[in-house]
Amino acid sequence: MEEAPKGWWQFVRAMPAWLKEKLFIKDQLKKELKEIGDINWKKTKLQFSKHHLSHAACVFFPSPFQKSAILTFDCVGELATASIALGKDNNITTLKEIHFPHSLGLLYSAFTYFLGFKVNSGEYKVMGLAPYGNRESQLVKEYTHKIKEHLIEIYDDGSFTLNQEYFAYATSFKMINESKFEQLFGLKTRKEESTLKKEHYSLAAALQIVTEEVIIKMAKEAKNITNTENLCLSGGVALNCVANGVLEELNLHKNIFVQPAAGDSGGALGAALAYYYMAAKNERKIIFPDAMSYAYLGSSFSNGEIERALANNNLMWNLFDDENLVEFTKNSLLQNKVVGWFQGKMEYGPRALGNRSILGNPLHAETQSKLNLKVKKRESFRPFAPIMLKEEFQKYFGKNYDSPYMLMVHKILEEYRKDFEIDSDNLTDLINKERSEIPAITHVDYSARIQTVTAESNKKIFDLLMAFKKETGIGVLVNTSFNVRSEPIVCTPQDAINCFLNTDIDILVLGNYVVEKA
């Protein structure tokens, strides 16, 4: 009603879905649940969890904290777009909320659209583009000022309001008022696949700066009103690992836990956990380092299933024991070959964490462009994350905590950096610069999205990193998700084989089975 009458046509277009489906969701669920057996609905009730409660539950209950502040940021739930809650024992209490149409997630999505990427899938591209903008440049400072002057008003407690004159999502099926955005920034809405210019990545940098300011202020407010040194982060914006790294660097909270499936994919888990602990009042046991089992919660496949997939595709393979598999893979990586690595249970969440990964040699600067263009078939500016031994995290980044979920970004220590000019109009020139002693995993601002591995978390990857370190002195590899652009991460052996055959991946490792391209 707040946007009436401007939202009339959006209301008219949405009503058929409500009248056919959404008002009858209980009936639809009962129909689908018949697939798993007969249910006595006289004794069984369907219960629903609010969107932000699901986000909060999916991060707090698996966390190692008895008591914690919980920050949730996303586009929008039923009405809430951001919230501060307190988790304690079996309960979650919401303390503050920001409501639609004022949304940090939708602000980020609006710029995702303006910069020529797809909303709800391209936001991480904007985050990856932002470091190419020099934060100290006059252009980035000018864009930051314009965003804060015209688009968003940020208050001391982290709450904010968006100037709806520039946005269209509340009253139509468009994200922004394009003419007002274009007039404000002096830029046309970028067409997808068109050339990225200095203005585009400078604008992405300004957006990231504003996003971090909101998150930091709200994190401070969360600590003030919950009186706890622990912080849990969830919601789609919690996947902004650059902002997460900034929070960690500030030491506002002694401990931070980010749900690896922080987006809406974690909603089902959160709803189940909310019912299990808050409604059914089951005993909650604190598990260290957390209850996510390093996110290896998905499907796994037997040797027989792998062999059948290989045979069905007429592929020749070699079968190695664990020790020789590690030796062979290490030697392949040293030859700068790209390895498709498929092991055990699939990861839960959007990040490949060493079981459905493409691995590369981090010591060659050209690994980034090779993987992007020939294997991933995606934009060349996209960075790659390192998977590393924990002691390498300490050595190269000065950090000594576990980061198993690839959700924190930190900058490599100055002693390992190489000087180059960042303020350039030529994006390709910036991409190909050698930026550190580990060039393939160091982004243009000397940062990297860190994943640490121990023998406990992933024994095979740990052994491979140890072997690579023994040979090179560096226990770090390039790790990116086993998929190509616009495709989901591979799940089954057949998925992995399809990706292998249709890209320039050199080696396919399925369990202990190895296939090489001629």
For residues 483 and 499, is the Cβ–Cβ distance under 8 A?
Answer: yes
pLDDT digits (tens, 9 = 90+) for 343-366: 999 999 999 999 999 999 999 888
The pLDDT value recorded for residue 8 is 45
* Whole-angstrom distance, CA of residue 7 vs CA of residue 13: 10
Is residue 50 within 8 A of residue 77, CB to CB? The reply is yes
- Specify the pLDDT at position 11: 46
Distance CA 359, CA 380 (A): 17
Model pLDDT, residue 209: 98
Please give the pLDDT value at position 38. 87
Q: Is the peptide bond before 488 cis (omega within 30 degrees of 0)?
A: no
Question: 322: part of which helix (H) or strand (E)?
Answer: helix 322-334
462, 388 contact by CB (below 8 A): no
User: 3-state SS of 173-186?
Assistant: CCCECHHHHHHHHC
Q: How far is CA 331 from the centre of its chain?
A: 30
Q: Are 257 and 295 in contact (CB under 8 A)?
A: no
Within the chain, which residues score under 50 in pLDDT?
A: 1, 8-9, 11-12
Angle (CA) 282-283-289 rounded to 5° is: 125
Integer Cα distance of 326 and 467 in angstroms:
7
The answer, as to whether pTM is greater than 0.85, is yes
Which pLDDT value is given to residue 378?
Answer: 84
Q: Helices (H) and strands (E) in the chain — how many of each?
A: 17, 16
Q: In terms of Cα–Cα distance, which of 15, 95, 110 is closest to 52?
A: 95
What one-character-per-residue DSSP string does 122-187 give?
SHHHHHHHGGGS-TTSHHHHHHHHHIIIIIEEE-TTS-EEE-GGGB-TTTSSSSB-HHHHHHHHT-
Can you list the alpha helix ranges (DSSP code H) found in 25-68? 25-33, 51-60
Looking at the DSSP bridge assignments, the partners of residue 479 are 359, 385
Q: What pLDDT was estimated at residue 17?
A: 59
For the chain, the C-alpha Rg in angstroms (whole number) is 24
* Pure H helices in 335-389: 367-370
**Residue 364's pLDDT is what?**
87
What is the secondary structure of 435-466 as a DSSP string? Answer: -BSSGGG--TTSEEEEEEE-TTT-HHHHHHHH
For 202-211, write each residue's pLDDT tens digit: 999 999 999 9
Averaged pLDDT of the chain: 93
pLDDT of residue 159: 98
CA angle 115, 163, 172 (to 5 degrees): 70
Q: For the chain, first and last CA: distance in Å?
A: 64
Residue 27 has what pLDDT? Answer: 84
